[in-house]
Amino acid sequence: MPTHDGSWPQGTPCWVDCQVDDPARAREFYGALFGWEIEDSPPEAGGYLMAMRNGRAAAGIGPKPEGMPMPSVWTTYLAADSADAIGQKVGAAGGALMMKPFDVLDVGRMFVGADPTGAVFGVWEAKAHGGAGVYNEHGAYCWNELHTSDYKQAQEFYADVFGWHYIEIGDGEHFVYSTFSLTQDGDAVGGVNDSTKMPGDNPSYWLAWFQVDNTDEALAKAGDLGATVMSGPDDSPFGRMGIVQGPQGEVFGIIDPTTTVGEPPSGA
């Protein structure tokens, strides 16, 4: 079981949570789907729920902010040494702060921003809560990727703000995709996908992927629990995968990385 203690390096996808109309309903759905043990937070946390795997934090579930109309979503948070400093960089690089930096009790400091292409993300400065304590196993997040309507602009933005380095792994025409790392020769910690290569209207957004032991079983179970299977199961060099829309409209990916078909692209 891959585990992590303390804060994550700046620029790493360090946490995911969903904002929904009915957290109690989401608690039932995700608890059944991923086997999460979901704990209540203190009353001052505003109804936020903490999903645990073997005693370690895996994800969060919370109500939508009052007075802020929004769809139900999964949000990817990027680690920051200083949320305030990164917030200034976001503005300078052409992004926007949807919620300015604020303290979350004694557990951290955060803000919610949007990149110039419209993709919304969170930034987390760890204090008592370092972020995900478990990853890359059944029921934990294993990958986060940006789907963007302006590929080059998005790459430039995140490079300016977080110093990301990119490796292009797509064919450059039909599949335009890069992985990003924190250093020139570092391990990939996420991906960027050119959504204009997909059919239909594809707004920019961050997609969180959760690892499962069996994609077919997970998709079937999600459907039985009231979710909509948007795609899959599909085979790939990275694993057998599918995209799911939860019962309240939030979208996420699931993947079994142990079941692969074909060779990964060069550089992946």
Structure tokens at 248: 């309240």
Percent residues over pLDDT 70 in the chain: 98
Q: In this structure, which amino acid lies at residue 147?
A: H
| Residue range 88-142, pLDDT digits in tens | 999 999 999 999 999 999 999 999 999 999 999 999 999 999 999 999 999 999 9
Q: In this structure, which amino acid lies at residue 148?
A: T
Element (H, E) at 228: strand 228-234
Task: Report the mean per-residue pLDDT for the chain.
Answer: 95
Can you tell me the mean pLDDT for 64-92? 95
Q: Is 229 helix (H, G, I), strand (E, B) or coil?
A: strand
Contact 123, 83 (CB under 8 A): yes
For residue 173, give every residue at least 6 positions away whose Cβ sits within 8 Å of its Cβ, in sequence order, or none.
none
**pTM (2 d.p.):** 0.96
Can you tell me the mean pLDDT for 72-83? 98
Pairing mode, strands 120-126 and 73-79? parallel
Taking 80 as the threshold, does the pLDDT of residue 201 lie above it?
no
Using CA atoms, how far apart are residues 139 and 52, in angstroms rounded to an integer? 9
Taking 70 as the threshold, does the pLDDT of residue 159 lie above it?
yes
Please give the backbone phi and psi of residue 108, each rounded to the nearest 5 degrees, phi first: 170, 180
Using CA atoms, how far apart are residues 7 and 187, in angstroms rounded to an integer? 18
| Residue range 223-233, pLDDT digits in tens | 999 999 999 99
Q: In this structure, which amino acid lies at residue 160?
A: D
Contact 46, 62 (CB under 8 A): yes
Question: What is the reported pLDDT for 30?
Answer: 98
For 38, 166, 236, the CA distances from 258, given in Å and listed in that order, are 27, 25, 11
